[in-house]
Chain A
Amino acid sequence: MSRPEIDVRGLYKSFGQNRVLRGIDLEIGRGEVVCVIGPSGSGKSTLLRCVNLLEEPTEGRVFVGGTELTDPDVDIDAARRRIGMVFQQFNLFPHLTVTENLTLPQRRVLRRGKARAAKVAAENLARVGLSEKADAYPSSLSGGQQQRVAIARALAMGPEVMLFDEPTSALDPELVGDVLAVMRMLADEGMTMMVVTHEMTFAREVADRVVFMDGGVIVEDGTPDRVIKAPRHERTRHFLSRLLDPAMADVEEETSDQVGGGT
Chain B
Amino acid sequence: MTDTGLDAPPRRKGLTRRRKRGLSRGAQYTVFVAAVIALAVTADWGRLGNQFAQTDIARRMFPDVITLALKNTVLFTVSGFVVGLALGMVIALMRLSSVGPYRWLAGIYIEIFRGLPALLIFIFIGVAVPLAFPGTEIVGGTYGKVALALGLVAAAYMAETIRAGIQAVPRGQMEAARSLGFSPARAMASVIVPQAFRIILPPLTNELVLLFKDSSLVLFLGVTLEERELSKYGRDLASQTANSTPILVAGLCYLLITIPLGFVVRRMEAKAQEAVR
By a beta-carbon cutoff of 8 Å, the part of chain A in contact with chain B is 52, 54, 77-78, 80-81, 83-85, 87, 89, 91-95, 104-105, 108-110, 139, 150, 153-154, 157
Q: What's the Cα separation between A193 and B186 when bound, in Å?
A: 27
Q: What's the Cα separation between A77 and B198 when bound, in Å?
A: 27
Question: Does B20 reach chain A (CB closer than 8 Å)?
Answer: no
> Which of the residues B178, B181, B194 comes within 8 Å of A157, measured between beta carbons?
B181
Residues of A within 8 A of B54 (CB): none
> Which of the residues B176, B183, B186 comes within 8 Å of A93, measured between beta carbons?
B176
Using A95-B194, A95-B198 as known contacts, say yes or no to A105 and B173 having CB atoms under 8 A apart.
no
B98 CB, min distance to chain A CBs, angstroms: 14
Instruction: Check B186 against A108 for contact (C-beta < 8 Å).
Output: yes
Instruction: Check B178 against A80 for contact (C-beta < 8 Å).
Output: yes
> Which of the residues B172, B179, B191 comes within 8 Å of A83, measured between beta carbons?
B179
Q: Which residues of chain B in 151-204 are interfacial with respect to chain A, using CB atoms and an 8 Å cutoff?
A: 170, 172-173, 175-183, 186, 190-191, 194-195, 198
B72 CB, min distance to chain A CBs, angstroms: 36
Instruction: Check B181 against A91 for contact (C-beta < 8 Å).
Output: no
**Nearest-neighbor residue (CB-CB) of B194 within chain A:** A95
A245 CB, min distance to chain B CBs, angstroms: 33
Instruction: Check A95 against B195 for contact (C-beta < 8 Å).
Output: yes
**Nearest-neighbor residue (CB-CB) of B183 within chain A:** A77
Interface residues on B, range: 10 to 19
Instruction: Check A105 against B180 for contact (C-beta < 8 Å).
Output: yes
Residues of B within 8 A of A81 (CB): 180-181
Residues of A within 8 A of B198 (CB): 95
Instruction: Check A80 against B190 for contact (C-beta < 8 Å).
Output: no
Q: What's the Cα separation between A77 and B180 when bound, in Å?
A: 8
Residues of B within 8 A of A104 (CB): 190-191
Using A54-B178, A104-B190, A108-B190 as known contacts, say yes or no to A91 and B172 having CB atoms under 8 A apart.
yes
A32 CB, min distance to chain B CBs, angstroms: 21
A191 CB, min distance to chain B CBs, angstroms: 16
Instruction: Check A157 against B180 for contact (C-beta < 8 Å).
Output: yes
B272 CB, min distance to chain A CBs, angstroms: 13
Instruction: Check A80 against B191 for contact (C-beta < 8 Å).
Output: no
**Nearest-neighbor residue (CB-CB) of B171 within chain A:** A91
> Which of the residues A87, A109, A139 comes within 8 Å of B181, measured between beta carbons?
A109
Q: What's the Cα separation between A94 and B179 when bound, in Å?
A: 17
B195 CB, min distance to chain A CBs, angstroms: 5
A196 CB, min distance to chain B CBs, angstroms: 14
Q: What's the Cα separation between A84 and B172 when bound, in Å?
A: 15
Instruction: Check B175 against A108 for contact (C-beta < 8 Å).
Output: no
**Nearest-neighbor residue (CB-CB) of B195 within chain A:** A95
Interface centre among B176, B177, B190 (most CB of A within 10 A): B176
Residues of A within 8 A of B173 (CB): 91, 93
B276 CB, min distance to chain A CBs, angstroms: 11
Using A89-B172, A108-B190 as known contacts, say yes or no to A153 and B180 having CB atoms under 8 A apart.
yes
Q: What's the Cα separation between A87 and B275 when bound, in Å?
A: 22
Q: Sort A-B residue pairs by CB-CB distance and give the 9 closest, nearest first.
A: A91-B176, A81-B181, A85-B179, A91-B172, A105-B180, A109-B181, A80-B181, A77-B181, A77-B183
A244 CB, min distance to chain B CBs, angstroms: 30
Q: What's the Cα separation between A105 and B190 when bound, in Å?
A: 9
Residues of A within 8 A of B175 (CB): 54, 87, 91
Instruction: Check A109 against B186 for contact (C-beta < 8 Å).
Output: yes
B107 CB, min distance to chain A CBs, angstroms: 26
**Nearest-neighbor residue (CB-CB) of B184 within chain A:** A77
Residues of B within 8 A of A89 (CB): 172
**Nearest-neighbor residue (CB-CB) of A156 within chain B:** B180
Of the A-B pairs whose beta carbons lie under 8 Å apart in the complex, a sample of 9, sorted by A's number, is A85-B179, A91-B172, A91-B176, A93-B173, A93-B195, A95-B194, A105-B182, A139-B275, A154-B180
